Amino acid sequence: MRGAALGPGYERVLRPVMFRAYAGDPERVHHTTLRSLEVLERRPAALAALRLLTRGPRRPVEAFGLTFPGVVGLAAGMDKDGVAPHAWAALGFSHVELGTVTASAQPGNPRPRLFRLPASGGLVNRMGFNNAGAPALAARLEAAGVRRGAAAPGIPVGVSLGKTKTTALADAAQDYLTSFAAVAPHADYVAVNVSSPNTPGLRTLQEAGVLRDLVAALVAAARVQDPVRPVPVLVKVAPDLSFDALEDVLGVCLESGAAGLVATNTTLTREGLADSDRWRASEAGGLSGSPLTARAREVVAFLAGRTELPVIGVGGLRTADDARALLDAGSRLLQVYTGFVYRGPALLREIEEVHA
């Protein structure tokens, strides 16, 4: 009951106040939330109290050689620079995927670049991998005591790797390797993000030949970094790929030694939107949230039906029924982002109860 009480408080009070206060600039809500969690991050007593409030039934999950205390984690994009790994754990997430981080710091795309579609339960973003860079993330995690396998903050910490915008596609592999070298000592797994629609040309890295070289290079680097227990390398795919293209990606993952897949990223389609949201949906960028629910489920079912590699299901998770369907489709783990924006901590508890 204590954890459940956080949900109504968020949905009925905190979210409406924040959304109204920053109605014209959703990104300010994002930054305000992160600043609050960053303050909480430095207060162990407050973190302990929050853990008591969010405590509920959870069933551990084994994947990629790691043990996750529950099934639902935080998707990449929310905490790009790793400001609050302990706070996310205290909120009840079973893991957190930081980033997407790039080899060099970059400001991302011009603002405005984040748009709410409230009637559809969606977001459109064209953030463009805004982050302080992989070395800065590594330094922050080191200062927070977050090292691979160190059991801090008590949940696995993944890092999503992307390409620096100014890096030529021909040099992409080295760019990813530079980021990997920086964050590998602090990452329980890394996810190769080649599927964001907001960096020009990035999705071409999903083509089989190019992706094979990139994943193989990262897997080899992981084995050099730790020959006994290499950092698991996952591949994050776009929901807009055809089934034939997904088959190619899966073949590359199997050939190159990838440990699993993350399905899916945001979509460029604008299907399933409420009429009142269509004016905002004309903005360029990737669409996330409830409009992606059905397609994410299709992609997870397609991949999970063709491989033993674990699949993290992401996309359109807003209810316990959404979670149940994505698990039934074959997801080993789940991640939320947009659903958490709209529902808050109550969503985590509902999903964990379904899984438990």
Task: Could you list the residues known to form a binding site, using ranges.
Answer: 76-80, 100, 125-129, 160, 193, 198, 236, 264-266, 289, 316, 337-338
pLDDT digits (tens, 9 = 90+) for 271-328: 999 999 988 888 999 999 999 999 999 999 999 999 999 999 999 999 999 999 999 9
Distance CA 76, CA 54 (A): 21
Give the active site residues: 196
Task: Return the HEC string of 250-299.
Answer: HHHHHHHCCCEEEECCCECCCCCCCHHHHHHHCCCCEEEEHHHHHHHHHH
Average pLDDT over residues 327-352: 96
Predicted pLDDT of residue 7: 58
Residue holding tokens 């529902």?
343
Distance CA 181, CA 176 (A): 9
Among the ranges given (17-26, 106-115, 172-181, 301-310), the one the predictor scored with the smallest mean pLDDT = 17-26
Q: How confident is the model at residue 1 (pLDDT cuts 50, 70, 90)?
A: very low
Predicted pLDDT of residue 6: 60
- The answer, yes or no, to whether residue 217 has pLDDT greater than 70, is yes
pLDDT digits (tens, 9 = 90+) for 165-215: 999 999 999 999 999 999 999 999 999 999 999 999 999 999 999 999 999
> Would you kindly state where each structural domain of the chain is located, as residue ranges?
2-355
- The answer, yes or no, to whether residue 11 has pLDDT greater than 80, is no
pLDDT digits (tens, 9 = 90+) for 49-63: 999 989 889 999 999
Phi-psi region of 64 (alpha: psi -120 to 50; beta: other; left: phi over 0): left
pTM of the model: 0.95
CB atoms within 10 A of CB 307: 16
Predicted pLDDT of residue 8: 65
2-355, superfamily in CATH? Aldolase class I (3.20.20.70)
- The answer, yes or no, to whether residue 5 has pLDDT greater than 60, is no
CB atoms within 10 A of CB 31: 11
Q: How confident is the model at residue 220 (pLDDT cuts 50, 70, 90)?
A: very high
Please give the helix or strand (H or E) that residue 99 lies within, else none: strand 96-101
Task: Could you list the residues known to form a binding site for substrate, using ranges.
Answer: 80, 125-129, 193, 198, 265-266
Predicted pLDDT of residue 152: 81
Enter the DSSP assignment of 10: I
Predicted pLDDT of residue 3: 47
Instruction: Give alpha helix (H) positions in 147-285.
Output: 172-183, 208-225, 243-256, 278-281
Across the chain, what does the average pLDDT equal? 94
Predicted pLDDT of residue 72: 98
Q: How confident is the model at residue 126 (pLDDT cuts 50, 70, 90)?
A: very high
Among the ranges given (22-26, 77-81, 100-104, 254-258), the one the predictor scored with the smallest mean pLDDT = 22-26
State percent of the chain over pLDDT 70: 95
Among the ranges given (4-13, 16-25, 41-50), the one the predictor scored with the smallest mean pLDDT = 4-13
Average pLDDT over residues 75-79: 98
